[in-house]
Chain A
C-alpha cells in the first residue's frame, strides 16, 4: 500500500514535468488539439445516459456496468461521445446492461505518459488507445494487453492492417488509424513541368534537374523537429529492406547484420538534402506546411497526415502521395503501410465482456463506416466502403499494385536515434560511417535492454 502511494506520487510528479514540456512523438499524426476537457466530457456523457435507460426495459432492472475508456483523441470528442451513446442503447436493448462510459481524452502529447502511469499503478482503464508500432511490443511484454485473436472483429480487418496489430502471433489491438504514406508532391508543379512521380533514382535526378531549371526548389526541408528528417530514413530503409534485404531486420536482431549492408539508403537522403530549401533547422512542421502549400518546393518527405494543415493554408492546393525511389530498381519505391492509434483492452478489466463488446462495436457492420468516415480515417476493414480523399486513393492505388510494405518494426530508440543523427548529418557534424556505427550500437543496446 505504502509502496503504491509512493510510486504514484513519483509518477504524478513525472506527469507534471511532461505536461510542462510537451514531448514530440514520431510517426504519429500530429493533431493540433488543445487540452481536453475530459471532465466535462464524462459529465455530459453521464447526463445524456441517465435519461435513456428508464424508458427501455421494465421487467428486470438492467445490470449496471461502468467502463473506463481512455483515448488520445480530444479532437474527436463529439464523434466518440455520440458513438458511445449508440453503443449504450445497443447494450441496453440487446443484453439489458446499463453501461456508463467514463471517457477520458487527454492531450495526445501527454496521453502516453498518463496512460503509462495508470498502467504501472494498477489503475488501468478498461479500454485504451496506443500506438501500434511504437507501443505494442513493450506493453505486450509488460502484460497490459489482452489477446483479441478470437474476437468477431478480427476477420473483418484487412489482412495488411491486421498484420500491424499482431504481435507474437496474437491480435492484441483494434486498428483505428491506419496510414499509407510516401512523400507528398505538388501536383500543379509536376503537371506544369510534365513530370510523373519518378520510380528510380535516375528518374528522380532527371525530375530534380527539370524542377531546378524552372527555378523551383525540388525538396522542402523542415528539420527543426527531428521526427521529420527521420521520415526519409523510414521510407528509404523500408523500401531497401523490403525489396532487397527481406531478412535484414531479423539478422539485425540477432546481431548478424549491420547498417553497412543497406548503406545505399543514404543515396536518396543525400539527393534530397542536396536539393532542398535552405536553413531547414529554422523551419518546423507548421512553417513547412505553409511553405509547401504556397508552392515553395515541389516535393516534401512528409505523410498525408499533414493534409489538414496544408489545406488550411491553401484550400486549393493539389498534392499527391507517391512512393520514394531508393535505388535504380523501381521495385524499391514503395508506400509505407502503418497503423498508428489502435484500441486495446486491459486484461485486468472487471467488465471485460462489456469492454470487448465496445471494441467489437467500433468495427460494427452497420455503424462503423459512418464513424470512420466522419473521423476521416482510412478504411481498415471490409465494411468501410466510403469515398476517401484523392491522395488516399492515390496511395491505395500503389498498395493495390503491390508496391507497399509493412512499416518496419525497429527496436525502441533506434528511430529516435536515427532522427537525431540525420539532423547532425545535415549539419555535417557526423559522417555516414559514424551514423552506421552508432545505429548498429543503438540497435544492439535496445535488443539487450528489451530482454
Chain B
C-alpha cells in the first residue's frame, strides 16, 4: 500500500514536469550532446558528409589558435572585474535601498529597470551615449576627460563594456540581496545593538554571515553570466577594434558563422568554454557552501 502510494506520487510529479522536461530535452540536452559529437568532426555546416577528426579540434584550439587563447584571457579579466564589482555594487545598493523609508519601492524599481531591457538594446543605447552624448557633454562643460574614443580605443572599450554590463546586471542581484537582508532576523540585530555594536559592525558580523547563501548564488550567477557574456560586447564593439575586446562566446560565434564556417571546430571551442565554466563554478560552490552559517 505504502509502496503504490509513493509510486503514484512519483508518477504525478513526473507528469507535471514532463512538458518542461520534454522541451528541455529536445531543445537543450539533445543539441548539447549533438554539439559534443560535432566537436569531434570537421563539419562546415553545409557539406552532407564530414570526417571524424578525434580531438584534433581541441588540440588546435588550445595550442594553435592565439585569438582563442587571447579571448580566454580577456574573458577571465572581464569575469574578475564583473564578479567583484557587480556583487559589491549590488550589495551596496541593497543596503542603501533597505535603509530608505517609503521611497524604497521607487529606488528598487529604478535600479531594477535596466534588467528588463534586452542587453542588445541596452548596448545600442549606451553606444549612443558613449559616442554622441559624452563627447557633447565634454564639449559643453569642463569635463574634457569624457571626450575619449570609448568604443574605438581598446583600453577604454573594456571599461565601456564593464559599465554597460554592470548597468544591466546589478539590479537583478540587488533584488536577491534585498530579499536576503530582509530575511535577517531582527532580534539578532537588536541584540547586537544592545551589546553596543555600531552599524558597520552589525553589518560585518550579523548581516553578512546571514546572507551568505545569497552571496553564493550571486557569485555563481555572475561567474556564469560573465563567462558567457555576448550581447553587450556584440552591441557595443562587436569584439573590435579588430579583436581587442573579443570574449570567448564572440570568438566561437565568429568561428562558426563567418570566416570558414567551421562548425565542428566552433563546437569544440564551445565545449572548452563549457568545461571552464563547469569547473570554476563547481569549485566556487564547494568553497562557499562550506562557509555558510544558519541562524
Contacts and interface: CB of A to CB of B under 8 A. Distances in A.
A349 interface: no
Contacts of B244: 424, 427, 429
Interface residues of A, number: 46
A21 B120 contact: yes
Given A13-B31, A281-B152, A429-B244, 11 more contacts: A10-B31, A13-B27, A119-B46, A120-B46, A139-B46, A142-B47, A223-B152, A429-B154, A429-B242, A449-B42, A449-B44
A144 B45 CA distance: 13
B237 to A, nearest CB: 8
Contact of A142 (B48, B230, B240): B48
Interface string A310-346: 0000000000000000000000000000000000000
27 contacts: A9-B27, A9-B30, A10-B30, A14-B256, A21-B230, A120-B48, A142-B46, A142-B47, A223-B152, A224-B151, A225-B238, A226-B238, A279-B152, A281-B149, A282-B130, A282-B131, A282-B150, A282-B152, A412-B259, A416-B254, A417-B259, A420-B240, A422-B242, A424-B243, A425-B242, A427-B154, A445-B260
B257 A18 contact: yes
Interface in A10-37: 10, 13-14, 18, 21, 23-24
A53 B295 CA distance: 82
Contact of B242 (A280, A282, A423): A423
B261 interface: yes
- Give 8 closest A-B pairs by Cβ, nearest first: A424-B242, A281-B152, A282-B131, A427-B241, A413-B259, A423-B241, A413-B260, A423-B242
A435 to B, nearest CB: 10
B26 interface: yes
A354 to B, nearest CB: 25
A13 to B, nearest CB: 5
B151 A21 contact: no
Given A113-B257, A120-B45, A120-B46, A427 B152 contact: yes
A416 B238 contact: no
Contacts of B231: 21
Contact of A23 (B30, B131, B258): B258
Q: Which of A122, A282, A421 has the most CB of B within 10 A?
A: A282
Contacts of B34: 6-7, 9-10
B30 A6 contact: yes
B264 to A, nearest CB: 10
Contacts of A417: 259
B234 A21 contact: yes
A143 B153 CA distance: 45
Contacts of B31: 9-10, 13
Contacts of B42: 449
A166 interface: no
A6 B33 CA distance: 10
Contacts of B35: 10
B257 A23 contact: yes
A10 B240 CA distance: 29
B215 to A, nearest CB: 31
A248 interface: no
Nearest to B260: A413
A125 to B, nearest CB: 15
